[in-house]
Chains A and B, each alone.
Chain A
Amino acid sequence: MQLSIPFSPDQASSYSGRVDALFAFLCVLTILFGAVITLVIIYFAIKYRRRKEDEIPRGVEGSMRLELFWTVVPFLIAMGIFLWGSSLYFTMYRPPDEALEIYIVAKQWMWKFQHLDGQREINELHVPVGRKVKITMTTEDVIHSFFVPAFRIKMDVVPGKYSTVWFEPTKAGRYHLFCAEYCGTGHSRMIGWIDVMEASEYQAWLAGGAAEGSLASSGEKLFQQLACNTCHRSDAQGRGPVLEGLFGKPVQLSDGSTVIGDENYIRESILNSQAKIVAGFQKPSIMPTFQGLISEEQVLQLVAYIKSIGTKQPMEGGAAKPQPPTTQQ
């Protein structure tokens, strides 16, 4: 499945070859189908060309069998293509559990990359070959789209939520990154590079890096700076839910429903604290909203921090005790 097709970019990710294979199959199908019809038309057009101005042929009305044949057979082929495409789609759009995490904040007209260990890059992302990479991204303004032709991957970045994409680079090299959703004047300039490096080179590059410390440690600093820790205490004495051990686990909400405590949940809770209230905590929530007060990158730092404490156990005393509802003034 590694045969490459003409006019295609490098096959540089673990599923590039699979996409090319399906594409090649579709090309062959098109050529076959097109050739058969074209040849039949040419043959008929010549054999049955009008020889006298006033000739009228005898009619051939129709054939139920032919109609069924050329309805059912294409339908079955189409279903086959659908299944093939869907299975590929599931692979491409289901991020693996274990992966190197990168965050992206897109804005008009640049890509801002953030490595977990604190490295920041603009428009050029370094990743190691042979490791799965999972990207969580959002945008500060309009919809953009993260597109790496060599990896055959694309995903829109939409304001107000996180979207995720993953890939596993299989070949070292420098590959185009394009913005693939029209976003204004600088859309054609919102391009960059993905640098896939051999493992050793990548380590070397990482070592040269981040003066400010890891993303999670920046998040921890911000957590204290913004006084989050006054309510979200790890000893369950605070007025907000404990955040240790929260990430990735189900959270019971006050309306009875349950959500998974993922990146989108954390982001929403920071920017719109009234959106989802944890069960047992008072309504309206006394958590202030940080919408407009912190940038998307700062949100990502907080998310990274909360993720990093997600593996910790909450301290003795178990889960946070719900506070009795206080009257609102």
Chain B
Amino acid sequence: MATHAGLAHHFDDIEQQREAGTLGMWAFLVTEVMFFGGLFLAYILYRSKYPTEFAVASNSLNVTMGFINTLVLICSSLTMALAVYFSQIGNRRLITVFLLLTMVLGTTFLVVKGFEYHEKYVEHHVPVRFPTYEFKWEPHGSDHAGAHEASSLAVDTGRVEMFFWLYFAMTGVHALHMIIGLGILTTLVIMTRRGRFTPEYHSPVELSGLYWHFVDIVWIFLFPLLYLIGAHLHR
């Protein structure tokens, strides 16, 4: 078997290297599941304890932005999958195109998130207590019909705050993973431009695709759990 340029010295052949890389990435994603799992566990516990407050707080999130972000991420998974496809058939130009598109979509996600966080900041929904800034919860004003009903529900500010820190913690950690993903994609673009990938050796693209899809799937869970649980209060 020919020695490929991408074959590392400690592997017997490219097949073994590919197998090792794939298993390694899957094992790493399992660790990520455990990491996010701790946060999801906290979410499950506190939501079952305080369902009303969670619904009311969720209501105050910007569902439109959340939905846009969901669409953006799903599209980015498509562009990523296409980048992987083109790496499998060796079309350098299109690999780069789709990697860049994925990066654009990922950046869009982060920008929208930035706007969302800013909105929350302005409304004093960031659950911190500093001398200059404190969390404040007032039921929403008359900007939508559900407000009246939402505000007539018994709510405890502390519990509402619990929702918000979970929101920031979970979406924050997710955003961190997105940023890391963008860094990985940048590296891939550089490697593609340098002609490092061939149909025989393109596993970095595939494995990064796995990572990107994982980050996407985490968002698919986050979106309904954080944004949609108060939807029934819109009447």
Interface residue ranges, A against B (CB under 8 Å):
272, 274-275, 277, 283-285, 328
Contacts and interface: CB of A to CB of B under 8 A. Distances in A.
B153 A283 contact: yes
A274 B152 contact: no
A85 to B, nearest CB: 29
Nearest to B52: A255
A272 B151 CA distance: 18
Interface of B: 151-156
5 contacts: A272-B156, A274-B154, A277-B154, A283-B154, A285-B154
A272 to B, nearest CB: 7
A328 B152 contact: yes
A275 B153 contact: no
Given A283-B154, A284-B154, 13 more contacts: A272-B156, A274-B155, A274-B156, A275-B156, A277-B154, A283-B152, A283-B153, A284-B152, A284-B153, A284-B155, A285-B154, A328-B151, A328-B152
Contacts of B156: 272, 274-275
A277 B153 CA distance: 11
Nearest to B156: A274
Contacts of A272: 156
Contacts of A283: 152-154
Nearest to B151: A328
B186 to A, nearest CB: 47
A99 to B, nearest CB: 31
Across chains A and B, which 3 residue pairs bring their CB atoms closest together, nearest first?
A284-B154, A283-B154, A274-B156
Nearest to A289: B156
Nearest to B49: A275
A274 B156 CA distance: 6
Contacts of B153: 283-284
A328 B156 CA distance: 15
A328 B154 CA distance: 11
Contacts of A285: 154
A328 B153 CA distance: 10
B137 to A, nearest CB: 13
A285 B52 CA distance: 14
Contacts of A275: 156
B162 to A, nearest CB: 13
A274 B52 CA distance: 11
A272 B159 CA distance: 11
B157 to A, nearest CB: 9
A325 to B, nearest CB: 9
A272 B49 CA distance: 14
A263 to B, nearest CB: 20
A284 to B, nearest CB: 4
Nearest to A254: B154
A282 to B, nearest CB: 9
Name, among A277, A284, A285, A328, the residue most crowded by chain B CB atoms within 10 Å (CB to CB): A284
A285 B156 CA distance: 11
Name, among B151, B153, B155, B156, the residue most crowded by chain A CB atoms within 10 Å (CB to CB): B156
Contacts of B154: 274, 277, 283-285
B141 to A, nearest CB: 14
Name, among B151, B154, B155, B156, the residue most crowded by chain A CB atoms within 10 Å (CB to CB): B154
Contacts of A328: 151-152
